Amino acid sequence: MTRKIWENLRSVLVIIGLIWACYFISFVFDRDAFALLPRELPGLRGLIFMPLVHADLNQVLSNTLPLTSLLLMLRFSAPKFWRTLLALSLSSGLLLWLFGRSGVHLGANMLIYALAAWLITTGFVQRRLLAVAAAVLVTVSFGELFWKMFPTAGTHVLWESHLLGAVAGFALAWRKRTAQAADSSQRPQSQQVAAAPAQSAPLSNPASAVSSQPADDTQTAEDGFAI
């Protein structure tokens, strides 16, 4: 148990350490070269690098604590942490590239909103204790962040990137919930089809009938959403 906790913590610290390393390295290269630029082909590189590269010290400092907390919540509640994190980062970045305000976009702000929305949505649709606890912590600890998703946040705030990040987080969580529900509804039909030939087989020999009966399969539902 202790080893598992340390592994989860270490993976989050690696991400935060990489962000800080990119901040110090950014003094020797052009930050804008790694930014996301909406509707510009060179700006597509920001899909990968935008969450890692920050514009200034104030931005990286303000993002470190909420990002660390949300990544830890995701690490302990999502069965496929890295795939979920990559999906949230790329999907929110793509939405920003398509619909965002023209200009230079840097930092993990949008990823923070995507993580928060994903945690809240999965917490309530899964009805799992750990996921619900994560959703409550997000709501209580970072509820004020959601006021920055609307134009009332001011022209100096790129509120549309926050909103698009939240939309991506909600959409991914809801899509997986729908896919999981559809998969569970199809399983009984497949079991009935598989059992039909065995039921129609002639019982000419009781011993052979007993040996031909398939062993009962135990279905286990996947713990959480797989992305």
What is the C-alpha to C-alpha distance for residues 100 and 35, in angstroms, rounded to an integer? 13
Distance CA 182, CA 97 (A): 31
2-178 CATH fold: Rhomboid-like fold (1.20.1540)
| Per-residue pLDDT band at 144 (split at 50, 70, 90) | confident
Placement of tokens 């597509």 in the chain:
44
Share of the chain above pLDDT 90, in %: 49
Residue whose token pair is 């790129």: 158
The domain segmentation of the chain, as residue ranges, is 2-178
pLDDT band at 166, cuts 50/70/90?
Answer: very high
Q: What is the pLDDT of residues 45-69, one digit of tens each?
A: 999 999 999 999 999 999 999 999 9
CB 134 within 8 A of CB 142: no
Among the residue ranges 19-28, 96-105, 204-213, the one predicted with the least confidence is 204-213
Per-residue pLDDT at 185: 66
DSSP codes, 9-43: HHHHHHHHHHHHHHHHHGGGS-GGGGSB-TT-GGG
pLDDT at 164 (0 to 100): 96
pLDDT digits (tens, 9 = 90+) for 100-117: 999 999 999 999 999 999
Q: CA torsion, points 116, 119, 120, 124, in degrees to nearest 10?
A: 180
